[in-house]
Amino acid sequence: MLVAKHSDAKLHGLTVIRQEAEGLIQLADQLDDGFSDAVAQIIDTQGRVIVSGMGKSGHVGRKIAATLSATGSPAFFVHPAEASHGDLGLLKPVDTMLILSNSGATSELRPLIAYAKSIKTPIIGIASDADSLLMREADFRITLPKIPEACPERIAPTTSTTMMLAVGDALAIAAMRERGISRAELMQWHPGGSIGWRMLPVDSMLRRTGPLPLVTRSTGMRDVVIEMTSTGKGVAGVVDDDGNLIGIITDGDLRRSFDRMLFATAGEIMTVSPKTVPSGTRIEEALTLMSQAKITVIFVMRADDPRKPAGVIHIHDIAAI
């Protein structure tokens, strides 16, 4: 068995990527009102967008259905072979069919197309042959450029499926923009992983063991430094006699006041009116505030008394998760 040279493998890979990129460029150049009409139909759909395709087109269709649902256009995938064995019952006139087929003549799609037409379910067709069965029967048509597959034998679906995937993403995002879907809505639909984690309240990050790094206005700087290192956050909050947060001392404050460290007190060094977030603030919002204010640490204030600190979080705490 011969092993390809690294240089040959890289050349083959670049050829594939460049050919698929050329397909995307031509696709963008020929996108017409058919695309806009398809987006309008997706937005007007009262039911669900039912995506279907056979073979590699079907694999792409599953991803497109997931992307549509994740961006505000409820959708799911149905396999054309399963559809002709009973799953056609899921299709309703209030739905929209989105069918993918490079040739537009895939035989397994015929029963699905025929049934959709019989109950007057609108069909969005995506194919490269404008005169194919799918495109003749479709109510909305998005024609793919006739670009050779990147496979050296021009058989394995590669360039065509890349273009289909791009069209699916374009439909989903265009519909999302037209609907005015907000970032908050998107994050609510992604409760798992890092996206979902950012939706959690900052309270979930607060340490429940040990006291907060707090000092009073009259605390000497030696004791302030000790307090700052006690939690590893590099910060100390300054509170008044009632426990209300009135200032903050960070590593930056220490550096700027180094020549006064031996005789200064916390009240003389602190930054007054520090940035804080109330209990219940989402991690995403706290991160945005820290980024905009160019700070690395922030106090979380108590829900029952917003003048008193409940905890402190560092930007490294967020980045580490």
The answer to whether residue 320 scores a pLDDT higher than 90 is no
Tell me what the mean pLDDT of segment 125-134 comes to.
Answer: 95
Task: Tell me, yes or no, whether 174 and 215 share the same domain.
Answer: no
User: For position 296, what pLDDT does the model report?
Assistant: 87
Please report whether residue 187 resides in a domain: no
105 lies in some domain: yes
Domain-located, residue 264? yes
pLDDT at 313: 86
Radius of gyration in angstroms for the set of CA atoms belonging to the chain, rounded to a whole number:
29
Q: Are residues 72 and 212 in the same domain?
A: no
pLDDT > 60? residue 321: no
User: What is the number of domains present in the chain?
Assistant: 2
Asked if residues 138 and 124 have their Cβ atoms less than 8 Å apart, the reply is yes
Question: 181, 215, 235: which is the final residue of a domain?
Answer: 181
**pLDDT of amino acid 233:** 80
The residues, any chain, with a CB within 8 Å of residue 303's CB and separated by 6 or more, are 278, 279, 280, 310
- Asked whether residue 278 is domain-assigned, the answer is yes
Give the mean pLDDT of 120-145.
96
Query: CATH number for the domain including 217?
Result: 3.10.580.10
Query: Is the residue at 286 inside a domain?
Result: yes
Please give the residue that has the higher pLDDT: either 246 or 186: 246
Q: Are residues 133 and 61 in the same domain?
A: yes
Looking at the chain, the number of H-run helices and the number of E-run strands are 14, 12
Does residue 207 fall inside a structural domain? yes
Burial 61-97 (b: 16+ CB within 10 A, else e): bebbbbbbbebbbebebbbbeebbeebbeebeeebbb
Stretch 23-50: mean pLDDT: 95
For residue 222, which amino acid is it? R
Are 142 and 271 within one domain? no
pLDDT of residue 194: 61
Do 167 and 38 lie in one domain? The reply is yes
Structure confidence by residue, pLDDT tens digits, 46-105: 999 999 999 999 999 999 999 999 899 999 999 998 988 888 889 999 999 999 999 999
Q: 124 with 268, same domain?
A: no
Last residue of a domain, one of 148, 181, 214: 181
pLDDT reported for residue 1: 47
Residue 84 has a pLDDT of 83
Whether 232 is in a domain gets the answer: yes
pLDDT band at 110 (very low <50, low <70, confident <90, very high): very high
Which domain range does residue 233 map to? 202-319
Q: How long, in residues, is the chain?
A: 321
Do 177 and 209 fall within a single domain? no
One domain for residues 14 and 85: yes
- For residue 121, the domain's CATH number is 3.40.50.10490
Domain assignment present for 192: no
What digits encode the pLDDT tens for the residues 171-202? Answer: 999 999 999 987 777 766 666 656 666 777 88
Q: In the predicted model, is pLDDT for residue 257 greater than 90?
A: no
Residues facing residue 215 across a β-bridge: 238
pLDDT reported for residue 245: 95
Percent of the chain's residues with pLDDT above 70: 92
159 and 210 in a single domain? The answer is no
What are the structure tokens assigned to 34, written together? 């058919």
Instruction: Kindly state the average pLDDT of the residues 33-57.
Output: 96
Mean pLDDT of the chain: 89
Alpha-carbon distances, residue 97 vs 76, 134, 137, 201, 301 (angstroms): 10, 11, 12, 39, 51
Give mean pLDDT, residues 127-131. 94
Q: 217 with 173, same domain? A: no
Q: Are residues 136 and 248 in the same domain?
A: no
Do 153 and 268 share a domain, yes or no? no
The model's pTM: 0.69
